[in-house]
Structure 1
C-alpha cells in the first residue's frame, strides 16, 4: 500500500464541469453521460442500469468478494405542480430541501420537446414596498413560493400556451465560485464534490498502476436525494460499501472543515464498527487530516443499500460542507483528503476473510470489538506505507 498523489487540476476541473450540468433527481441523463465520458478517458470499464445508475470496475487480484464506493449524481430541484391564475407556476421540491434556501434562486424550467424558460423562485409576498413587514412574517414553505417566468405572461392560460405543464422540471442555477485560496462555493456540492473526489481517486489508481487486492466497483447513483440511492445498483458479491457524501458544519458537529470526516452514525443507525475504524486508522497512519462525527438528520446511499436487503458492511466518508442543501461551501483540502483516503482504502485487503460468503462459520469473526486492531492496515504500512 502506498499514498497516491491526487491531481488537483483534474479534481477542480471535473467538479466545475459537473456543477455546470443540471441534474435534479429524475433528470440525470446529461450528468450520466458526463460521468461515463470521464470513465472512458480513464480507461475504466462500466455498465448502466436501465435508468442510468453507473457501475464501473477497477480490477483487483480477485473478483469475488469485492467492494464498492458510491457517490450520487443527482441533486435537489423542483417541479411545476399547477399553473396559478397570476401566470406564476406553483412548484414542489424534488428532494428534501428548505423553501428558504430556494427563495430568490435563478432557475431554468424544462418543458417538453426541448423548450426551456428562465425564471426566479420567489415568495408570494416578495416586495417590501407592497407588503411591508409581512415579507418577513410569511412562513418559509414551498406552498408560499412561485416561479416568476421571464416571459410575457399574466395568466395560467398564457403559461399553458408556452407549452408549460405540471410535471415540468425546474433546475436551480448552481452559482459556482471556486476561489484560488481553496474555498469552493456552489449549490449542489452535495454530492458533485463527492463525485469529483471519487473520479480523482480512480484516476490516481489508474495512472500510478496501484495494485488492488480485489475488484472495486465505482458506483454513481441517480436517486439518492429521493431515498432510493444505491438500492438498485449493487450485486451479491459486494461485501463492503463506502458512501461518499457531505459532512455538515454546524454547532455541536465535529466535521473536519479541511480534512475528511468519518461518520460513525446517521439517522439510519451506526455504520459498520470495523470498516469505520479502518478508515480512521488509514487517516492516522498516512497523516490525513480527519475527524469522526455523528449525524442525526441524515441518510446516504449506504442506508438505501441496507434497506434493500444487502447484508454488507457500510461506512460513510464525508467532505466538509457548510450550509448543506443551501448555498454550500467546502474547501479543496477537504475534498482532496477524501480522495486520498479512498485511494488507500482501495488498496487494503478484505475486512475479514469470512466476508467472502454471505453466511459462514464462526472462524475469523472478531470476539470483542473494543480490543480489535486492524492488523491489515498495520502490516501494509510496515511494508510500504
Structure 2
C-alpha cells in the first residue's frame, strides 16, 4: 500500500490487475475478453457501468454536481495483426492491426485465433535460416511483406492450413512476455494501454474504498479502437465538458517524457490540448507533490483527440506514463503508474475547471485569464499603434475614434 493524504493507493492491486490484463489477448477488434474482465473489476468496486453494443464501457461515479461531468478515459485494445494470405508452403502473411513496424514483430511468439480453435506460432523473417542465407539475412528489408508466421502444426501447404481451420482474416495476438523487476521497472508488450487501464482502476479503487467526495460526476470510460484512430467519439455524453485521456508517453531522444511521475502532454500530432484543463492538471501535480513533467508528441494520436474530432465541444487533456520503446518491448516504472493513479484521485475530487462550461452561452469573463491585456502589449508598443490607426481612421471619416487605455 502507498499511503497518501486521506487515502491509500493499492500498488499490489495495480500489479495484479496489470498482470491479469496482459494475459488477455485483445488486439483491436478482438477485445471481448478484456471488456468482460474490466466489467468484473468495476462490479467488484461497486461502480455502476453500461456497455455500448460494441463493448465500450461507460462507468459512473456520483459527484456533487450532475452537470457538468468529466470523463477519464483509457483504451483496452492493443496492436496486433491479422492473417492476410496463406502462402503455398503454408506460412502465413500478416497485415498489422494498429500502426507499428514489422521490426518489432520479428521473433515474437503468437497465437492465431481461428474459427476452429487457437494455434501457436512464431513470426520470422523470410530469410530465417542463417546457415542457408548467410549475409542475405542482414540485407532483408524491414516491412510486413518480409515476415511470416510459422505455425507450430504439421502445415506444409496452403491445403494443410485450410484443413486445420486457419483462414484469411484470423486474428493474431502477440505474447506480452511481462517482467516485473524488484527495482520497479515493468517490461512487456502491450503496456499501451493495459498499464493505463490498471492505473485508472487503482485510482477508482481508492476513491470508492475511502468514500472520497467528488466535485462532479466522473465517468471512467474504457474504449476499444484507439489503436486504429476511431476511439471514443461515440461514447461521450452531452453533459461531459472535461475529458482526460490516460495513455503512454514515448520516452526517446528529443522527448521530455520520463518513466517516473506523470508526463502531461501539451500537444500531439493534432495540435495543442486545452490550455485551461492542462494547466489545471499541472497545478494539481504541483499542489499535491505528484512528480510530473511536460512533453509534446509529434507522432501521436489518442482518444482525447478522437473525441474532439467527433464534434464534441469538450476540454481535452492527456496524461501519460513515460514508456520506453513504445509499440515494441515496452518499459515503464511502477512509480509512473502510481503517479497516474494519484492524479486521477486528485482530479476527480477537484472543482470544475471552468464553472460555466455547462451553460449554453459562456460569459466573456471566462476568456480573460489566459492572457492579460498588459501581456498582449508586447512591451507597450501595441496600444500606441492601435490608437494611431484608429486616429487615422477618424481623420478619414471611417468611424468614431476609440482610444484604448
Residues of 2 paired with 1:327 and 1:288: CA distance? 27
Q: Please list the CA deviations of residues 49-75 of structure 1 after superposition, one character each: whole Å capped at 9, or x if unmatched.
A: 100000000110121110000000000
Check whether the contact 1:102–1:121 (CA below 8 A) recurs between aligned residues.
Answer: yes
Equivalent residue number for residue 226 of structure 1: 228
Structure 2 alignment gaps of length 5 or more:
374-405
**1:95 equivalent in alignment to 2:98:** yes
What SS does the aligned partner of 1:355 have? coil
Check whether the contact 2:265–2:319 (CA below 8 A) recurs between aligned residues.
Answer: yes
* TM-score (normalizing by structure 2): 0.89
Check whether the contact 1:2–1:344 (CA below 8 A) recurs between aligned residues.
Answer: no
The alpha carbon displacement at 1:178 in A equals: 0.9
1:363–1:3 distance in 2 versus 1, CA, 3 Å? farther
Equivalent residue number for residue 8 of structure 2: 5
CA RMSD across the alignment: 1.4
Q: Please list the CA deviations of residues 340-359 of structure 1 after superposition, one character each: whole Å capped at 9, or x if unmatched.
A: 011100111111121012x3
Q: Whose radius of gyration is greater, 1 or 2?
A: 2
The alpha carbon displacement at 1:233 in A equals: 1.2
Check whether the contact 1:55–1:218 (CA below 8 A) recurs between aligned residues.
Answer: yes
1:209–1:371 distance in 2 versus 1, CA, 3 Å? farther
Residues of 2 paired with 1:68 and 1:176: CA distance? 29
The 5-angstrom pairing of residues 129-208 of structure 1 reads: 129-208=131-210
Equivalent residue number for residue 382 of structure 1: none
Equivalent residue number for residue 277 of structure 1: 279
Check whether the contact 1:3–1:344 (CA below 8 A) recurs between aligned residues.
Answer: no
Residues of 2 paired with 1:2 and 1:277: CA distance? 22
Which of 126, 129, 132 is matched with 1:127 structurally? 129
Residues of 2 paired with 1:31 and 1:319: CA distance? 21
The alpha carbon displacement at 1:363 in A equals: 4.3
Residues of 1 paired with 2:39 and 2:111: CA distance? 24
Residues of 2 paired with 1:288 and 1:361: CA distance? 32
Which of 62, 65, 74 is matched with 1:62 structurally? 65
The alpha carbon displacement at 1:256 in A equals: 2.5
Check whether the contact 1:3–1:340 (CA below 8 A) recurs between aligned residues.
Answer: no
1:164–1:281 distance in 2 versus 1, CA, 3 Å? same
Q: Please list the CA deviations of residues 355-375 of structure 1 after superposition, one character each: whole Å capped at 9, or x if unmatched.
A: 012x31324412141459xxx
Which of 331, 334, 341 is matched with 1:332 structurally? 334
Which of 84, 87, 93 is matched with 1:84 structurally? 87
Equivalent residue number for residue 367 of structure 1: 368
* TM-score (normalizing by structure 1): 0.94
Which of 297, 300, 313 is matched with 2:299 structurally? 297
Equivalent residue number for residue 377 of structure 1: none
Check whether the contact 1:352–1:364 (CA below 8 A) recurs between aligned residues.
Answer: no
Which stretch has the larger CA shift, 131-140 or 313-322?
Answer: 131-140
Check whether the contact 1:4–1:343 (CA below 8 A) recurs between aligned residues.
Answer: no
Check whether the contact 1:241–1:315 (CA below 8 A) recurs between aligned residues.
Answer: yes
Residues of 1 paired with 2:365 and 2:177: CA distance? 51
Alignment: residue pair count = 370
The alpha carbon displacement at 1:43 in A equals: 0.2
Residues of 2 paired with 1:302 and 1:182: CA distance? 29
**1:17 equivalent in alignment to 2:20:** yes
Q: Please list the CA deviations of residues 56-107 of structure 1 after superposition, one character each: whole Å capped at 9, or x if unmatched.
A: 0011012111000000000011100111011101111011111000001000
Check whether the contact 1:4–1:340 (CA below 8 A) recurs between aligned residues.
Answer: no
**Which of the pair has the greater relative contact order for Cα pairs under 8 Å at 6+ separation?**
1
Residues of 2 paired with 1:108 and 1:265: CA distance? 36
Check whether the contact 1:354–1:364 (CA below 8 A) recurs between aligned residues.
Answer: no
Equivalent residue number for residue 379 of structure 1: none
Structure 1 alignment gaps of length 5 or more:
373-385
